[in-house]
Amino acid sequence: MKTALVTGANKGIGREVALQLAKKGFHMFIGARNRHAGRKAAEEIAKQGGKATFLEIDINYNESVTGAAHEFAKIVDHLDVLVNNAGIMMDGDDAILKISDDLVRKTLETNTLGALRVTRAFVPLLAKSKAPRVINVSSGGGQLTGGADGWSPAYCISKTALNGVTSQLAAALPKFAVNSVCPGWVRTDMGGRNATRSIEEGADTIVWLAIDAPQELTGKFLRDREEIPW
């Protein structure tokens, strides 16, 4: 059975990706730091016929991440797909010159370093897959080509940096497919009710990269299953 880990899978896009992959026959690992929410999401997926296991993980801490990899390895011996979905948006539409160092630091800690930490910890398990895939959930706000327009600058900077992590990981892991995804403006807790896309639409390219995209597609930034500029 194929296996997949989605971080931040207790709600929003992460939960939808986990549900869709479970329906496709994956053994899903529901990564979340909130035990109650994570277990509830896993139970709900299981009720719909999927195989789901809660995995406690706080991507801000190396100890938690390495501990999660250890627990994962007790259950299965390989990982086929890693979706680095967990992320935060702490700033509003404040000008870049007004945001605090602390806010930028916290945002980078989660959105950029968090994805790198998780990937680093799970590479040995991914290496045991016949077709390992890493998918980093980024944002169009992180694009250097027309991406920055003043909204949530700390968040956007963290996603620019995450795209840099994607590019570096793709170079370091030539047998892996490592890509960034812009899901678009999605109606989640983060995106808000006025967002233009449904959660299903936001999850679509991530699920496609997990299952159907060519393995040789790597080191790219994608939206709607098409490559977009960094």
Distance CA 61, CA 148 (A): 29
Q: What single letter denotes the amino acid at residue 112?
A: T
Contact 163, 180 (CB under 8 A): yes
Q: How many CA atoms lie within 13 A of 73 on its CB side?
A: 14
Contact 16, 202 (CB under 8 A): yes
Out of 23, 47, 98, 155, the active site residue is: 155
Q: What is the pairing mode between strands 27-32 and 177-181?
A: unpaired
The SS3 assignment for 27 reads strand
Out of 11, 159, 175, 220, the active site residue is: 159
155 is annotated as an active-site residue = yes
* Residue 127, both tokens: 């290496």
159 is annotated as an active-site residue = yes
Mind telling me the catalytic residues? Answer: 155, 159
